[in-house]
Structure 1
Amino acid sequence: MKTNNVTKKMVLTAMLACLAFVLNTFVYFPAMAPFQHFVDVLAAVLVGPWYGCAAAFICGVLRMLSGRTIQAVTGAVFGPILGGLIYKKTKNIYLTFIGEVAGTGFCGAMASYPLMKWFYGLDAQSPFYYIPFYTPSAVVGAGMGVAVLLILKHSGALGRMLSELS
């Protein structure tokens, strides 16, 4: 029984990674990836912090292979970890939003600074340089994710999905 649930989580993780990649590829905003954060919130709640991180990492690598910088990975992986850990502890969808925004808007932005400097030679003047770019994207995307989760919760589908995955 446990193996079956792990398999379901792995398949859903791959599907969420693909969904994020496709949405970010066809709905493009310069220097923003709100659909990554949309999927991060869904993944944090549905599959948890570690599978959510895996989905964000897979999507980030795919985005890097299609021409994006390493920010595609660093801007995505911290949000589902923090949001997923918060949801796991509190079961509060709104706090998952805060975890996604803080994880991406602060942790992801701070992690991007040294990597962009090292790999790409970009000389931003401050480690806080990326925060104004990451935070609005995370707020918009996480807000969309929370809206979808609330719709699923009110219809009863979220409870069924979570029980099927646990």
Structure 2
Amino acid sequence: MKVTADTHTMTRANSLSVRRMVLAAMLAGLGFVLSTFVYFPSMAPFQHFCNILGAVFLGPWYGFAAALLTGLLRMLTGRTIQAVVGAVFGAFLSGLLYQKTQKLWMGYVGEVIGTGFISAMVAYPLMKQFYGLDAQSPFFYIPAYLPSSAVGGLMGCAVILLLKRSGALDRMLEQLKR
């Protein structure tokens, strides 16, 4: 078989996809383990921590996939649909805003808005429909989702800033591009 430039390009693209899939799976595992064993009532700040890492390292789609996988794993261990809903909107919006601006604070804003408001509003009708929630307001989950996403997002930003300060962030991002 003759190796051409097209074959080399396809091999690099496949390698990049595999690296991103592996990192997404690792973030999903990390999010699941941390959210399972370090538990706060009605809060999962480590999910949002992982969402910020996913935004920077993976972008919106792979970050979304990692959050979805984490949420599904958490549901399998007895959590409600909030485990999925509370993760995916922030992960996607965070990744999208970070990808468009390359500004960490925009990734943070995306996480807080995506989870603290959008996810909270989406969770209400789902919880009402599937679990018989008797709350009277679609804003019911904002007081729980907003601080969780803010705290977890800040933890993720702190780790990214520490990696950046040490020079490791650039090396890690370069490894994802090879």
1:162 Cα deviation (Å)?
A: 1.4
Structure 1 segments of 4+ aligned residues over 4 angstroms from their partners: none
Q: Which residue of 2 aligns with 1:119?
A: 130
Partner residue of 1:80? 91
Deviations 1:61-119 (A, max 9, x none): 11011010000000000011111111101111111111100000011001101100110
Equivalent residue for 2:69?
58
Question: Aligned equivalents of 2:34 and 2:28: distance in 1?
Answer: 10
**Where does the alignment leave 5 or more consecutive residues of structure 1 unmatched?**
none
- 2:153 is the counterpart of 1:145: no
Quick check: 1:46 aligned with 2:57? yes
Distance in 1 (alpha carbons) for counterparts of 2:46 and 2:127:
22
State how far apart, in whole Å, the 2-side matches of 1:77 and 1:132 are: 18
Percent identity, aligned pairs only?
63
**Aligned pairs, how many?**
166
1:14 to 2:43 alignment: no
Partner in structure 2 of residue 136 of structure 1: 147
Bigger Rg, structure 1 or 2 = 2
The residue type paired with residue 75 of structure 2 is M
The Cα RMSD (Å) is: 0.7
How many Å apart are 1:47 and its aligned residue?
Answer: 0.6
TM-score for the superposition, normalised by structure 1: 0.98
Q: Secondary structure at the match of 2:69?
A: helix
Is 1:71 aligned to 2:82, yes or no?
yes
Check if 1:154 corresponds to 2:165: yes
TM-score w.r.t. length of structure 2: 0.92
Amino acid at match of 2:106: L
